[in-house]
Structure 1
Amino acid sequence: MSRSATTSASLAELAQVARAELRGDGHFQILGVAPLEAAGPHDLSFFQPPRSPQILAETRAGALILREQELSLYEGNALVSRNPYASFARVLQHLYPAPRPAPGVDEGAWIAVDAHIHPAARIEAGVRVASGAVVEDGCWLETGVVVGAGVRLGAGCHLFPGVKVYAGVQIGPNCSIHANAVIGADGFGFAPDGDAYLKIPHIGGVRIGRDVEIGANSCIDRGVMADTVIGDGVKIDNLVQIGHNVRIGEHTVIAGQTGVSGSTTIGAHCRIGGQVGFAGHIRIADGCIIAGQSAITHDLRTPGVYSGVLPARPARRWRRLAARFDTLEEFVQRFKQWEKTAAARASAHREESDD
């Protein structure tokens, strides 16, 4: 089932938006987008492996975004792109622009007298903005948002219902923070003292760059003394925990239910699957790809694809197994060499017996 676009557009117009090459009728009007299986005669869809190319002969879509390699398998209007998914994203942004409400402060909001709210910001009912906070041009704070003392929200930020931003947090322009996320709570820091634990005050903050998106119910803790830092363009899924003093490089993406322990540094342009667990005080190089449910317990110093997790066992046994796992390849090679030697000796013995 397709959803009608905010406005129709010609295929020629969408080719420019998508940064793709037009093949077909440039005057053809696109009225919406839909999956390949459900697309109608005026819908746009896209194809990209690993999907089976058989769908290209079956779809009723009025036009497709696809690669040059699949063009021979499809006879209709097309936008040819090296990256169909990215092109499709650009088209969606064009046809379904995000809503922007009229600026103003609802009378049901509470704003501290010394907070600064830009006239072009939108503050809905139930929002609380504390002393010294700055909300810049074009920000949109939905119902139930709490902005702590001294917080700065860069231009164009969108905070969905129930977001809590603790005191002193700095958020760059054009960030989206989804419902019930918490930014700047204390990290999980306690010093053992006999049978009890002493709370470690967290006097650092959180600094978030520009164009960052943070999913619903995710938490980013403030630093102990230095700040927790999230770089430009980082994308964080729902239910992600970022511990105190963590640093995440620009344009890294993190899937849901991942947990990053305190003082870990993750490089730029990393891709991290769901439910990955990071030990504390480790460093991850730029460009690492980490498969879902991996356990990362030590530095990853070179870019590459990483995966692996072992079931829990008694700690001493687990350490022995882990040490043996590291030498397994060497053992396999030695065993193969032993097999070759044994086979050669057996062959020589048979030759001697025949003589």
Structure 2
Amino acid sequence: MISIEQLATLCEADIQGKNTTEHIYSAADIMHAEQGQVTVLSDAKYKKYLVDCKASACFISPKLIPEQVPEHITLLVCADPEMAFLEAVRLLHPDIEFNKTISDKADIADSASLGHALYIGAFATIGQDSQIGDYSEIHPGVHIGRNVNIGQHCKIYPNAVIYDNTVIGDHVIIHSGAVIAADGFGYKYRNNQHVKVPHVGNVVIADHVEIGANTCIDRGALGSTVIGAGSKIDNLVQLGHNNQVGRNVIICGQSGISGSCVIEDGAILAGSSGIADHVKIGQQAVVMARSGVSQDVKAGTQVWGSPAKDRKVAWKELAALSKLPEVLKAFKALQLRVSKLEQEK
């Protein structure tokens, strides 16, 4: 718990209200917050909920402060209430700190190199010549292959699998069930059978990347599959071999990216996006949900649909399609009139 006054100081907010000594024990959204909790109001459309809100404190921007505020709510006024609230959440709900110990039930190769202050859980396996950087966490059941290099302050959650020769930077989070650097899906069809293409490349993951649960990232066939610094990949994503993902890219759940694609810095692939092989998604481009992309997408554009096209064009086409029943009805009526006129001749 922490007092409202202390919370305001730590989150760089100004206090409006008298109840500064009350203690806050957790955070909640504005529609469900109770006494002893802090909430946030960062969008005018939620302003109506402040009237009946039971929270003890609320982060808010100066422009959203209403004329009347419930007496029990202390306002924490700041320029960016969302970021201040996130800091409050971190303070009130800190990550669990694991004891920096190595389980005697972990299987660690003699040639593996281990950094300082590590947590390695039971039944984790670390292969020959692999390196684990300082302050990293390898949770129970994780498998790390041979010659894998994991940086500092990383968190690899239970049952993730990291194949041989993978390179992982600092502050990387890999969630449970993720598989990094399995073989890519490559075959040549000869003599009425599919001949497997050997995949001898690897995966390189830069700093501050987060990879969701049950996501699969395939190794390169010859070179590397690369994930750039700061990129975030959701659960249940498939990234094919030799993809080059830039910095600060967002890839949402159930998206599938075929091989040898380039996803440039700041691009966003919304949920269930499908990207064909050898496609380039430009900087800051947005592929909207459930879109199927078979051609390059220019930087800064938004595409939607399958096949994906400019968002405005696709929506106009969809709007026109919704009018098709009326058009068909009018067309049939016109056909009937023409038929009658021909009979009268």
AA aligned to 2:24 is I
2:6 to 10, 13, 17: 13
Residue type at the aligned position of 2:235: N
Specify whether residues 60 and 105 from structure 1 end up closer, same or farther in structure 2 by C-alpha distance, changes over 3 A only: same
Kindly state the Cα deviation for residue 41 of structure 1 after the two structures are TM-superposed: 2.1
CA deviation after TM superposition for structure 1 residue 272, in Å: 2.0
**In the aligned structure 2, how far is the partner of 1:212 from the partner of 1:248?**
11
Describe the superposition over 1:216-260 as per-residue Cα deviations: whole angstroms up to 9, x where unpaired.
000011001110110111111110011111111111111100011
Return 21-30 or 190-199, whichever deviates more: 21-30
- Residues 66/307 of structure 1: CA separation in 2 closer, same or farther (3 Å cut): farther
Aligned to 2:330: none
Counterparts of 1:263-278 in structure 2, within 5 Å, are 263-278=260-275
Residue type matched to 2:11 in 1? A
* 1:72–1:173 Cα change, 3 Å: same
CA distance, structure 1, for counterparts of residue 307 and residue 281 of structure 2: 20
Report the Cα distance in structure 2 between the residues aligned to 1:208 and 1:253, rounded to whole angstroms.
Answer: 14
The 5 Å alignment of 1:289-300 reads: 289-300=286-297
Cα distance change on mapping 1:17 and 1:237 into 2, 3 Å: farther
Q: Could you tell me how far 1:119 is from its partner in structure 2?
A: 3.5
| Contact 1:121 1:140 survives alignment (8 Å) | yes
Q: Which residue of 1 aligns with 2:200?
A: 203
| Pairing 1:147-162 to 2, within 5 Å after superposition | 147-162=144-159
Deviates more, 1:123-132 or 1:194-203: 194-203
Shift of the alpha carbon at 1:50? 7.1
Code of the aligned partner of 1:68 = P
Specify the alignment match of 1:251 in structure 2: 248
The alignment's C-alpha RMSD in Å is: 2.4
When the two structures are superposed, what TM-score results if normalisation uses the length of structure 1?
0.81
Q: 1:227 aligns with which of 224, 228, 252?
A: 224
Q: State how far apart, in whole Å, the 1-side matches of 2:176 and 2:261 are.
A: 26
SS at structure 2 position matched to 1:36: coil
Contact 1:165–1:184 (CA under 8 A) maintained in structure 2: yes
User: Quick one: structure 1 residues 69 and 304, their matched pair in 2 at CA, closer, same or farther if it must change by over 3 Å?
Assistant: farther
2:54 equivalent to 1:60: yes
State the shift of 1:83 in Å.
3.9
Q: 1:100 to 1:43 in 2, by over 3 A?
A: same
Output the CA distance in 2 between the equivalents of 1:52 and 1:269. Answer: 29
Give TM-score scaled by structure 2 length: 0.84
Q: Against the structure 1 CA distance between its residues 12 and 289, is the aligned structure 2 distance closer, same or farther, given a 3 Å change threshold?
A: farther
The equivalences for 1:13-32 within 5 A come to: 13-25=6-18, 26-32=20-26
Q: Evaluate the alpha carbon distance shift between residue 50 and residue 200 of structure 1 in structure 2; reply closer, same or farther with a 3 A threshold.
A: farther
5+ unaligned residues in a row in structure 1: which ranges? 1-7, 312-321, 333-355
Contact persistence 1:218–1:238 (CA under 8 A)? yes
Over 3 Å counting, the alpha-carbon distance change for 1:16 and 1:233 in structure 2 is farther
Q: Which amino acid letter does the alignment assign opposite residue 289 of structure 2?
A: G
Shift of 1:273: 1.1
Matched residue pairs, number? Answer: 311
Moved more, 89-98 or 204-213: 89-98
In the TM superposition, what whole-angstrom CA distance separates every residue of 1:193-218 from its partner, at most 9, and x where no partner exists? 13112211111110101111111000
Q: Measured at CA, do residues 80 and 291 of structure 1 come closer, stay the same or move farther in structure 2, by a change above 3 Å?
A: farther
Q: How do 1:96-115 and structure 2 match up within 5 A? A: 96-115=93-112
Aligned to 1:213: 210
What whole-Å deviation, never above 9, does each CA across 1:26-51 have from its counterpart, x for those lacking one?
54432211222322222101123374
Q: Tell me the SS of whatever aligns to 1:144.
A: coil
**By how many angstroms is 1:187 displaced?**
0.7
Unmatched tracts of structure 2, length 5 or more: 321-345
For residues 182 and 86 of structure 1, the distance between their equivalents in structure 2, rounded to whole angstroms, comes to 32
- Tell me by how many angstroms 1:159 deviates: 0.8
Equivalent residue in structure 1 for 2:29, among 20, 35, 45 = 35
Q: Alpha carbons of 1:310 and 1:68: their partners in 2 closer, same or farther (altered >3 Å)? A: same
